[in-house]
Amino acid sequence: DVFDVPCKTAFTRLAEHLSLYTPEYQETVTGVPAATAVRLAEEYAAAQRPYILGALGLRYQNQGESYRSFYLLGMLTGNLGKPGAGVTSELGTGGWPWLLNDGPIVCPEGPEAFKGKILRQPDFWEQVQTEQPYPIKALMIPSGNPVHNCPSRGRWLDEVFPKLDLIVDIDIWMTDTGEYADYILPDCQPFERTEIVMMGAYNHVVLSEPAIKPLGGLDPATRYYELAKRLGFGEYFEKTAEDWCEIRIDCPENPMFAAAQPPITLENLKKEKRIRLATPPVPWDPFLGMDFATPSGRLEFYCEKLVPADAQMARYVEPFEVPTVASKAEGKNEEYPYQFFSGRQRFFMQSMFTDDPVMRELSGGKPSARINPIDAARDGIKDGDKVEVYNQRGHVVATMRLDEVIPPGTIQVWFGWRNKHFEEGMYSELLVPMSSRETMNDVADLWWKHMEEEDRVKWHFFLGSEATMAGAWDTIWDCACNIRKVADAEDIEDGKDA
Contact 465, 91 (CB under 8 A): no
Contact 188, 214 (CB under 8 A): yes
What pLDDT does residue 438 have?
A: 58
Contact 439, 433 (CB under 8 A): yes
Say if residue 378's pLDDT is above 60.
yes
Backbone phi, then psi, for 181, in 5-degree steps?
Answer: -80, 150
Who has greater pLDDT, 328 or 237? 237
The span from the CA of 233 to the CA of 301, in Å, is 49
Confidence category of residue 376, pLDDT binned at 50, 70, 90: very high
Domain ranges, ordered by start, for the chain: 10-94+287-309, 137-197+204-276, 325-435+476-497
- Decide yes or no: CATH 3.40.50.720 for domain 10-94+287-309: no
Say if residue 160's pLDDT is above 90.
yes
Q: Which stretches does DSSP call E strand in 157-295?
A: 166-171, 183-186, 195-197, 204-208, 274-276
Backbone phi, then psi, for 228, in 5-degree steps?
Answer: -65, -40
pLDDT digits (tens, 9 = 90+) for 438-462: 556 667 777 777 777 777 666 544 4
pLDDT digits (tens, 9 = 90+) for 230-246: 999 999 988 999 999 99
- With vertex at residue 67, the alpha carbon angle to CA 12 and CA 410, rounded to the nearest 5 degrees, is 120
Say if residue 217's pLDDT is above 70.
yes
Cα 229 to Cα 110, 235, 328, distances in angstroms: 21, 7, 63
What pLDDT does residue 144 have?
A: 86
pLDDT digits (tens, 9 = 90+) for 186-212: 888 889 999 998 766 678 999 999 999
Say if residue 474's pLDDT is above 70.
no
Say if residue 473's pLDDT is above 50.
no
What pLDDT does residue 116 have?
A: 81
Say if residue 344's pLDDT is above 90.
no
Tell me the helix, strand and coil percentages in the chain, rounded to 5: 35, 15, 50
Tell me the percentage of the chain whose pLDDT exceeds 70: 87
The span from the CA of 397 to the CA of 409, in Å, is 19
What pLDDT does residue 272 have?
A: 96
The span from the CA of 147 to the CA of 153, in Å, is 5
- Decide yes or no: CATH 3.40.50.740 for domain 137-197+204-276: yes
What pLDDT does residue 488 have?
A: 55
Q: Which helix (H) or strand (E) holds 481?
A: strand 479-485
Say if residue 464's pLDDT is above 50.
no
The fold for domain 325-435+476-497 equals Barwin-like endoglucanases (2.40.40)
Who has greater pLDDT, 221 or 114? 114
Confidence category of residue 269, pLDDT binned at 50, 70, 90: very high
Contact 292, 298 (CB under 8 A): yes
The span from the CA of 457 to the CA of 472, in Å, is 12
Q: Which residues, other chains included, contact 280 with Cβ-Cβ below 8 Å and sequence gap of 6+?
A: 96
Q: Which residues, other chains included, contact 430 with Cβ-Cβ below 8 Å and sequence gap of 6+?
A: 152, 340, 389, 390, 391, 393, 394, 395, 396, 479, 481
Cα 139 to Cα 67, 128, 329, distances in angstroms: 33, 11, 41
The span from the CA of 200 to the CA of 92, in Å, is 8
What pLDDT does residue 56 have?
A: 66
Say if residue 498's pLDDT is above 50.
no
DSSP annotation of 466: H
pLDDT digits (tens, 9 = 90+) for 89-111: 765 556 787 888 988 888 888 87
Tell me the percentage of the chain whose pLDDT exceeds 90: 45
Same fold: 137-197+204-276 with 325-435+476-497: no
Contact 166, 441 (CB under 8 A): no
What pLDDT does residue 329 have?
A: 53
- With vertex at residue 340, the alpha carbon angle to CA 390 and CA 25, rounded to the nearest 5 degrees, is 135
The span from the CA of 318 to the CA of 159, in Å, is 28
**Average pLDDT of the chain, as a whole number:** 85
Q: How many CB atoms lie within 10 A of CB 16?
A: 11
DSSP annotation of 438: T
pLDDT digits (tens, 9 = 90+) for 29-84: 888 999 999 999 999 999 999 999 877 667 677 777 888 899 999 999 999 989 88
The span from the CA of 18 to the CA of 27, in Å, is 15
What pLDDT does residue 476 have?
A: 63
- What is the average per-residue pLDDT within 206-223? 85
pTM: 0.84
- What is the average per-residue pLDDT within 471-480? 61
CA dihedral of 189, 191, 196, 199, whole degrees rounded to 10? 70
Cα dihedral 318, 324, 328, 331 sign: positive
Contact 343, 415 (CB under 8 A): yes
Q: Is 36 helix (H, G, I), strand (E, B) or coil?
A: helix
Who has greater pLDDT, 397 or 433? 397
What pLDDT does residue 472 have?
A: 42
Say if residue 369's pLDDT is above 90.
yes
**What's the half-sphere exposure (Cβ side, CA atoms, 13 Å) at 255?**
3
Who has greater pLDDT, 178 or 348? 178
Contact 377, 330 (CB under 8 A): no
What pLDDT does residue 3 have?
A: 84
Q: Which residues, other chains included, contact 374 with Cβ-Cβ below 8 Å and sequence gap of 6+?
A: 408
